[in-house]
């Protein structure tokens, strides 16, 4: 009898590792396959980049509180974020839908209206896809194609010792937005007469329902003459993404708690939920901000940027990824964010 290994035993990244070992690259035009935010193909003058992502009802979203238009927008945004993480720009997208018979034509149109709005905002063409029947709720699969100049592409590897570790925006807002939405859903289920208490929480709820890919930062970095040496988007939590960069580059890292950016609403709502804000910042996930490294010589170009924070630096090979707390203690970083299995 053959041995059976449960997927949950090795997790998402263990499974990706197994699949990667089975995928042998034979075409010389394939520059990068499995293991980065997007695959990279030599397209002559530049690189073609593409990525795919699936959203599954009751796994990635709950239609009890997620409007279809927001869901369509988010499905596009999270894929555009993968293009940003390669220092590139999305150009075309295709969408495959699995639909149950509870969805009307009007509902599907509402979903696609959200997709259209995202594509219009970021200059992307929706060029095709597929629709099929689903017996287990709504399923959305998105594949996005983009391009990047060969001398500007940013992989997860490429970081060097002593280079600065930077993050865009703020952290933990999307996770706390999800906690508020889940709480209000439970309150409604217990008493349908109760109105949701969302006052003052617009920012964190929007970060969950309608994230924006940081393509603006990609344009800003180009304007300032900064080319990231490595980059990844923050979908599974900051700690997890730092560990990805460390593994890909064969380095350690050191970050500082006091340098991690957080919005005041995120901080206050975390306290309201009796959650430690630093834990939310490290492990929340779904922020879709960018984490990148750059040479110290580029520091002056970004030192006063209001939307980019230098949170630490890369350390020598063989060292761990560590966080220095406000009290001066060193704590190893652990990946405790979103687990798919």
The tens digit of pLDDT for each residue in 182-228 reads 998 887 777 776 666 677 899 999 999 999 999 999 999 999 999 99
The domain ranges of the chain are: 7-148, 164-332
The region that residue 11 occupies, defined by phi over 0 for left and psi between -120 and 50 for alpha, beta otherwise, is left
Residues 6+ apart with CB under 8 A from 211: 74, 77, 78, 81, 174, 286, 287, 288
Crossing angle between the packed helical segments 173-190 and 202-209, to the nearest 10 degrees: 100
Contact between 242 and 253 (Cβ < 8 Å): yes
245 pLDDT exceeds 60?
yes
What's the Cα-to-Cα distance from 29 to each of 63, 95, 322, rounded to whole Å?
Answer: 41, 25, 38
pLDDT band at 27; cut points 50, 70, 90: confident
- Across the range 73-93, mean pLDDT stands at 98
CATH class of the structural domain 7-148: alpha beta
User: What's the longest Cα–Cα distance across the chain?
Assistant: 63
Name 42's bridge partners: 47
Question: What are phi and psi for residue 27, nearest 5 degrees?
Answer: -90, 130
Which region among 11-20, 87-96, 130-139, 327-336 has the lowest average model confidence (pLDDT)?
Answer: 11-20
- State the CB neighbour count (10 A cutoff) for residue 240: 22
pLDDT tens digit string along 123-166?
999 999 999 999 889 999 999 999 999 999 999 999 999 999 99
Residue-averaged pLDDT of the chain: 93
For 133, the token pair is: 């029947």
pLDDT band at 338; cut points 50, 70, 90: low
pTM score, two decimals? 0.92
Would you state the pLDDT for residue 23? 67
- Across the range 232-253, mean pLDDT stands at 96
Give CA–CA dist 303/62, Å, rounded. 40
The sign of the dihedral angle between the CA atoms of 155, 156, 162, 166 is positive
Which region among 26-35, 69-78, 298-307 has the lowest average model confidence (pLDDT)?
Answer: 26-35
Contact between 50 and 90 (Cβ < 8 Å): no
Give CA–CA dist 318/322, Å, rounded. 12
- Across the range 231-260, mean pLDDT stands at 97
20 pLDDT exceeds 80?
no
pLDDT tens digit string along 273-323?
999 999 999 999 999 999 999 999 999 999 989 999 999 999 999 999 999
341 pLDDT exceeds 50?
no
Task: Report the CATH superfamily, name and number, of domain 164-332.
Answer: PurM-like C-terminal domain (3.90.650.10)
Name 1's bridge partners: none
């Amino acid at each position: 009898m053959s041995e059976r290994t449960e997927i949950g035993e090795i997790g998402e990244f263990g499974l990706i590792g197994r699949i990667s070992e089975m995928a042998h690259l034979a075409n010389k035009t394939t520059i990068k396959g499995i293991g980065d935010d997007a695959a990279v193909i030599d397209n002559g003058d530049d690189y073609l980049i593409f990525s795919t992502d699936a959203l599954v009802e009751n796994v990635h979203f709950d239609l009890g509180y997620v409007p279809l238009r927001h869901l369509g927008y988010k499905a596009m945004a999270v894929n555009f974020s993968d293009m940003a993480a390669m220092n590139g720009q999305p150009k075309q997208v295709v969408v495959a839908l699995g639909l149950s018979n509870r969805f009307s034509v009007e509902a599907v149109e509402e979903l696609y209206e959200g997709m259209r709005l995202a594509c219009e905002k970021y200059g992307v063409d929706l060029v095709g896809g597929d629709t099929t029947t689903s017996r287990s709720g709504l399923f959305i699969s998105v594949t996005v194609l983009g391009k990047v100049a060969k001398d500007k592409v940013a992989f997860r590897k490429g970081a060097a010792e002593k280079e600065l570790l930077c993050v865009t925006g703020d952290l933990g807002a999307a996770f706390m937005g999800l906690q508020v939405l889940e709480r209000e859903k439970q309150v409604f289920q217990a008493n349908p007469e109760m109105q949701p208490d969302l006052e003052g929480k617009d920012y964190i709820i929007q970060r969950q329902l309608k994230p924006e890919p940081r393509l603006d930062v990609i344009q800003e970095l180009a304007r300032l003459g900064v080319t990231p040496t490595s980059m990844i988007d923050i979908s599974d939590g900051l700690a997890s993404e730092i560990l990805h960069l460390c593994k890909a580059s064969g380095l350690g890292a050191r970050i500082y708690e006091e340098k991690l950016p957080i919005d005041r609403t995120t901080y206050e709502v975390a306290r309201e939920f009796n959650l430690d804000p630093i834990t939310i910042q490290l492990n929340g996930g779904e922020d879709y901000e960018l984490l990148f490294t750059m040479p110290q010589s580029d520091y002056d170009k970004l030192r006063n940027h209001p939307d980019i924070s230098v949170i630490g630096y890369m350390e020598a090979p063989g060292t761990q990824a560590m966080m220095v707390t406000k009290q001066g203690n060193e704590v190893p970083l652990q990946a405790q964010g979103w687990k798919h299995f």
